[in-house]
Structure 1
């Protein structure tokens, strides 16, 4: 009987330890885990072209769909969601975005890079990437990906 009582007390102790949680103050500001941590450009945009890409061979990125997301924030933030395939699993996705031109067109270039000396299985590698374009001054903008219009928005 004493063992049963000791076992049940031990179980209650373990369950209560698992059940305790710390609730966040609802009035405290939300902070990104990397905010203020000295982000590098590769952390902000993991798909940005790199200096080391000069030694790599440029390839295609086959796009199946592109979506423009307008986030409800102030200022308005624009995201680009890309889905498609890379030629092989060894290819790395690159996204290069130019500043809006005089006609407020945002030109986005999506491609891949690969080491030509690397031996790789020949099969398509699916990808889905969300790329933050950021915010823009007031105006109407058109987004073109690899020369094709994919959406418009007003800022």
Structure 2
């Protein structure tokens, strides 16, 4: 009889235990740049007193840099700035929650400079940094350029 009570007690207590379930799926965190490459066209502190102007982008594309480890992406730019006195600026913003990277390309000029308004052609390459894993969309001056996948 004692054995029956012991068995009933064990069955009652085991009914209160939670059954094993699947392990929780890890959720992805917010995307961010792990490492930013040097940007020779980055905005500078002295730009605050300068006038901002647009650029004409003739060609822009993304190319994979398989010679780097891990693989990264180059932004290749070709276009024109309003004069020889203008300086090219490229601002790479941090990715947002939807894995979009917005890049701004513009020029700055000292308002007191006296230059002829003759378009000056520019060509440049900028290696984008290393980002947390995910598929990112690249936007330049609010135009979709392409995708990149970071592993």
Higher percent of residues as strand = 2
Higher relative contact order (CA 8 A, sep 6+): 2
Which of 93, 96, 100 is the equivalent residue of 1:101? 96
C-alpha distance in 2 between matches for 1:117 and 1:91: 12
Unmatched tracts of structure 1, length 5 or more: 1-40
> Which has the larger Rg?
2
- 1:2-151 residue pairs with structure 2 within 5 A? 44-72=38-66, 73-151=68-146
Tell me, yes or no, if the aligned pair for 1:79 and 1:134 is still in contact at 8 Å.
no
| 1:94-144 C-alpha deviation (Å, 9 max, x unpaired) | 000111100100000000000111100211000011011122221111000
| 1:62-81 C-alpha deviation (Å, 9 max, x unpaired) | 10111101111321211101
1:152 alignment counterpart: 147
C-alpha distance in 1 between matches for 2:130 and 2:48: 30
C-alpha distance in 2 between matches for 1:122 and 1:139: 43
Report how far residue 44 of structure 1 moved. Answer: 2.6
The CA RMSD over aligned residues, in Å, is 1.6
4+ residue segments displaced more than 4 Å: none
Given the two structures, how large is their TM-score scaled by the length of structure 2? 0.72
| 1:1-21 C-alpha deviation (Å, 9 max, x unpaired) | xxxxxxxxxxxxxxxxxxxxx
Given the two structures, how large is their TM-score scaled by the length of structure 1? 0.70
